[in-house]
Amino acid sequence: MPHPSFDRILLTGAAGGLGKILRERLKPFTRVLRLSDIAPMEAASGPAEELHPCDLADKQAVDELVAGCDAIVHFGGVSTEHSFETVLGPNICGTYHLYEAARRHGVKRVIFASSNHVIGFHKQSETLDAASPRRPDSYYGLSKSFGEDLATFYFDRYGIETLSIRIGSSFPEPQNVRMLSTWLSYDDLTQLVERGLHCEAIGHTVVYGASANANTWWDNRLAAHLGYQPKDSSEPFRAQVMAHPQPAADDPLRVYQGGAFVVAGPFEG
């Protein structure tokens, strides 16, 4: 096995769906993997793992969490649409706390799990690149848009480099017609994180997290310097997806890139 390129990587959201996938796949890149979440995590498998539960809304706790790390893979926070108050603590305050801790402790590389919901109100008929205007579709999407602004600010001000991955739909296989365009395999997700950790001079780079799907709404030409070459495609799953009843042509799932997120809520009472 090659010598790990990092001494200690922090993975937030380690108990989540993608966190569990990355927990195993990040190990070759670091001597120690520090794992954090507020949800229960499986016990550490040995001295190469550290469990450090943390509420991202707690600034002092996040500062202690980041101490001693030399890279952060930030997948923590609320991952679906909720009220603004629910999203505020972990996603908005929490991401700010993480960047402040990175500044204080000299961490210079962050992988930020952004989302396609940053641009969710664009129509599926459009093709977007990283320079396209953001059109968040939800409070969740707003929180990820704020995270991208933090990444730009902390690079311009403090030289902290970030890869913001606008994750499409990362599951074992696509689950509906929209995901034929947005699907991101676990192997391709891992490749994106690896490129973000090891590629030189990324500044703040935004990349759309999708596999090499036949129908795509996203153009990654502005992230070409990453050398990301997706290996998988949703095409082998097309027949089984299309065999199910399909939503109407005017259903948000078929109209907007963010799908059903554009109509979630409001959250009152």
Exposed e or buried b for every residue in 138-167, given b needs 16+ CB within 10 A?
bbbbbbbbbbbebbeebbeeeebbbbbbbb
Closest by CA to 30, choosing from 66, 73, 94, is 73
Kindly report the number of other CB atoms within 10 A of residue 39's CB atom. 11
3-state secondary structure of 263: helix
**DSSP symbol at 247:** P
Q: How far is CA 139 from the centre of its chain?
A: 16
Please report whether residue 40 resides in a domain: yes
Please report whether residue 268 resides in a domain: no
pLDDT value for 1: 43
Q: Which residues are catalytic?
A: 140
Which two three-digit tokens encode residue 57?
């809304």
List CB contacts of 104: < 8 A, sequence separation 6 or more: 63, 66
- Count of domains forming the chain: 1
Please report whether residue 185 resides in a domain: yes
Which two three-digit tokens encode residue 227?
């050398």
pLDDT value for 147: 98
Please report whether residue 269 resides in a domain: no
Is there a contact between 134 and 167 (Cβ–Cβ < 8 Å)? no
Give the CATH number for residue 241.
Answer: 3.40.50.720
pLDDT value for 244: 94
Sign of the four-CA dihedral 59, 62, 67, 70: negative
CA dist list (Å): 207 to 39, 140, 181: 28, 18, 15
Is there a contact between 122 and 257 (Cβ–Cβ < 8 Å)? yes
Closest by CA to 178, choosing from 256, 117, 239, is 256
Block means of pLDDT (10 residues each) for the chain, 269 residues, are: 84 98 97 98 96 98 98 97 97 98 98 98 98 98 98 98 98 97 98 98 98 97 98 98 95 96 87
Q: Which domain holds residue 177?
A: 6-263
pLDDT value for 4: 87
Q: How many CA atoms lie within 13 A of 103 on its CB side?
A: 15
pTM for this structure? 0.97
Please report whether residue 1 resides in a domain: no
pLDDT value for 2: 54
pLDDT value for 268: 79
